[in-house]
Structure 1
Amino acid sequence: MSIIKDFLLQLAFMVIPIFIYFTFITEKVESTKKKTVIMSVLWGISILFCMSFPVSFGQNARLELRIIPLLLGTLYGGFWSGIFLSALIIFFRLYFGISLGFYNTVLVLLFALPVILFFQKSFASSKKEKRVKIAVGLSLYYCLIGLTLFCMLRGFSIDYFKVQIIHLLFVVAATWFFTVLYEAIREIHQLRSEMQNTEKLKVISELASVFAHEIRNPMQVTRGFLQLLNEPDLPKKKKEYIHLSIEELDRANEIINDFLSFGKPSINNIERIDVGYQLQRVVNMIQSYSLSHNVEIKTDFYNNGWIHANPQKLNQLLINILKNAIESMRDGGIVWITSCSTADGYIKITIKDQGIGMTKEQIDRLGSPFYTLKESGTGLGMMVSFQIVRSFKGKIQVASEKGKGTEFIILLPQIT
């Protein structure tokens, strides 16, 4: 009964960091780096508790589940989180004295940590089911390494072997459970964030539909009278003022157009479209704009890639992203536009630039209401672009690095 109690205590040490992170950290801390640091500290505390209150099996056999916080902390936190947690394990184990157990701990980490770090990037980019398999596989590998080194250092003993097998099975089962739990809670949190964004967008949509037309009418009247006032004999200064006023009215009108596009997106006029042909048309339309910014556009289009979409909305989506790519390269550069067919039934459109790039936090906020990186931007163009992709039942992915450029990947369902 005491052993079961000790194992349940070990499990509690795993639950507490997950609970604290998703309850108090994710919504209050915006910076991804800060979240990673806090989560690493929480997993570190979990490791310390696991090692301080091990499960005792009679004759000096001590078992604990430190592998689980090490594994989850490394897979979700990345390279430096793994290094920090491994160092913490080594130094805390050193506190108990140098013995065969200490050498066993160091050797297991030397063999296991590089493998865990090797699979970390694959884990981060995988779907939920594959993540669970990777985590379980790595925990099994860690335990087998530990069992092998344990037998080599201490000699084979049937009693110790039985204890290690029990430990292995328990660790693998616990890793599966906590990975599934972590993924489920994260999924719920993402769904809640999406629902909150949806509510915000719904409010904006309703406001746009109600006010946009009423605002546009007096603006058009004002613009017309300003044009009438712009007589040839006016002083140069007044002509400049009128010209600036008209320009600002036109810019305000473009913002209202974006509002209308967002508030009442057109889902009619869906046609069967050859993506390669449509991409070439968009490139032709924006070619002069790119040349004026000293930007070269390189293309590689997939032939006979068909989708169901509204051609005008598809053009708007592509032009919005291409303009952002061009404007991000202040000293000129190259924009690559490619399309291809994927094995899972999508047409993949890739737009890659050599611009200023974005941080992880900026990428996460793309498509949010009024979020923009341009001094004179409104954020509505990108917000509308994300909505257009969703209306086509597609996906949009963004990869970027500060100072090295940005890559937009648009996945649209392929038809035959």
Structure 2
Amino acid sequence: MTWEEVEIAKSQIYKLYSYPYANGVTVFIRDITQNRHQENEMKKLERLNLIGQMAAGISHEVRNPITTVRGFLQILQSRSDSAKNKEFMDLMISEIDRANAIITDFLSLAKANVDSTKMLNLNDIINRIYPMCQADAFNCNKEVLLDLGDLPELELNESEIRQLLLNLVRNGLEATPERGQVQIKTYLHGDSVVLAIKDEGTGIPPEVRDKIGTPFLTTKESGTGLGLAISIGIANRHNAKFDFVTGDCGTTFYVSFPLKKAIEEDLNKNK
């Protein structure tokens, strides 16, 4: 007996078994798409859990001395003889603040659960941050478009969903060429509310696709590689499915939030 895995159109994966005999061969085909997707999701969760444990252990030890250094720099700035070094001190404080921001992002990977949630409409959150997205797009000569469908309310943490949205939109703007567009779309699909953010970039390189969500993995010169990892963590904490489709004409990230009734049905099944 021999077997081989075959992937079709980047969406379906089959395992082919062949049994040769004297006058021919018998072939069995088994669809293992769901198994492979579940394995990939488990690998992503394991990576996030590992990074989260590291973050919880070292973040405070790193942040405390950084805060002390920043405090002394501010004291030095207030002295009358510091004017000639103001430019350098401003730069040092700016870099310290940047390091603190990275630590804050790193810490968010350690969270296992959403702090607090309430029933909210995803479209309302999108509309509240839309002016910020427009400003980001305007600064780089691009455009952010909305296509929002009628949605029921979801159990959400607004702060985390804002962060997820901004991460994905800014990621899309960075990938999109000048005068290009990033689209934010929402719609109802079965028992899920789907958020889709589409850019007009050149797509995710094949060698990176299986590693999407790995902290500190980035193809950008100035990126930290934490944005997508944080977004996936937020989706996981909301029991949402995170996925993407990519190609030469751009990438679309999908976040599918289960409706409350779907979550309750799953819980009842597992009792």
TM-score range relative to shorter protein: 0.7 to 0.9
Structure (1 or 2) with the greater helix fraction: 1
Aligned to 1:355: 201
Aligned to 1:370: 216
- Write the distance in 1 (CA, Å) between the matches of 2:168 and 2:71: 32
In the TM superposition, residue 194 of structure 1 has moved relative to its aligned partner by: 5.1
2:172 is matched by which residue type in structure 1? A
Aligned to 1:251: 98
1:339–1:195 CA distance, 2 compared to 1 (3 A): closer
Aligned to 2:11: 125
In the TM superposition, residue 415 of structure 1 has moved relative to its aligned partner by: 4.1
Match status 1:262 vs 2:148: no
In the TM superposition, residue 391 of structure 1 has moved relative to its aligned partner by: 1.4
1:125 is matched by which residue type in structure 2? S
Aligned to 2:243: 397
Residue correspondence of structure 1 range 73-112 to structure 2 within 5 A: 76=6
Aligned to 2:35: 187
After superposition, what is the alpha-carbon deviation per residue over 1:73-119, rounded to whole angstroms, capped at 9, x for unaligned? xxx35xxxxxxxxxxxxxxxxxxxxxxxxxxxxxxxxxxxxxxxxxx
Q: Counterpart of 1:365 in 2: which secondary structure?
A: coil
Q: Counterpart of 1:331 in 2: which secondary structure?
A: coil
- Write the distance in 2 (CA, Å) between the matches of 1:367 and 1:409: 14
Aligned to 2:67: 220
- Write the distance in 2 (CA, Å) between the matches of 1:266 and 1:197: 16
In the TM superposition, residue 188 of structure 1 has moved relative to its aligned partner by: 6.6
1:296–1:196 CA distance, 2 compared to 1 (3 A): closer
2:35 is matched by which residue type in structure 1? E
Residue correspondence of structure 1 range 298-309 to structure 2 within 5 A: 298-309=145-156
Aligned to 1:7: none
Aligned to 1:276: 123
- Write the distance in 1 (CA, Å) between the matches of 2:179 and 2:138: 9
1:264 is matched by which residue type in structure 2? K
- Write the distance in 2 (CA, Å) between the matches of 1:188 and 1:125: 11
Aligned to 2:192: 346
1:201–1:339 CA distance, 2 compared to 1 (3 A): closer
For this pair of structures, how many residues does the alignment match? 254
1:383–1:247 CA distance, 2 compared to 1 (3 A): same
Aligned to 1:148: none
Aligned to 1:161: none
Aligned to 2:226: 380
1:215–1:389 CA distance, 2 compared to 1 (3 A): same
Q: What percent of counterpart residues are identical?
A: 32
1:396 is matched by which residue type in structure 2? F
After superposition, what is the alpha-carbon deviation per residue over 1:317-340, rounded to whole angstroms, capped at 9, x for unaligned? 111111111122352421111111
Larger radius of gyration: 1
Q: Counterpart of 1:319 in 2: which secondary structure?
A: helix
Contact 1:320-1:382 at 8 Å conserved across structures? yes
1:199–1:405 CA distance, 2 compared to 1 (3 A): closer
Aligned to 1:319: 166
* TM-score, structure 1 normalization: 0.55
1:272–1:211 CA distance, 2 compared to 1 (3 A): same
Residue correspondence of structure 1 range 60-209 to structure 2 within 5 A: 76=6, 121=9, 125-126=11-12, 174-175=26-27, 177=28, 179-180=29-30, 183=32, 187=35, 191=39, 195-209=42-56
- Write the distance in 2 (CA, Å) between the matches of 1:300 and 1:339: 7
Which blocks of at least 5 consecutive residues in structure 1 are unaligned? Answer: 1-11, 22-75, 78-119, 136-166
Q: Counterpart of 2:109 in 1: which secondary structure?
A: helix
- Write the distance in 1 (CA, Å) between the matches of 2:157 and 2:67: 29
Give the superposed CA RMSD. Answer: 2.9
1:284–1:305 CA distance, 2 compared to 1 (3 A): farther
1:393–1:197 CA distance, 2 compared to 1 (3 A): closer
1:415–1:198 CA distance, 2 compared to 1 (3 A): closer
1:196–1:352 CA distance, 2 compared to 1 (3 A): closer
- Write the distance in 2 (CA, Å) between the matches of 1:225 and 1:247: 14
Structure (1 or 2) with the greater strand fraction: 2
1:368 is matched by which residue type in structure 2? T
Contact 1:230-1:242 at 8 Å conserved across structures? yes
After superposition, what is the alpha-carbon deviation per residue over 1:111-167, rounded to whole angstroms, capped at 9, x for unaligned? xxxxxxxxx54xx535x7xx79xx9xxxxxxxxxxxxxxxxxxxxxxxxxxxxxxx8
Match status 1:407 vs 2:255: no
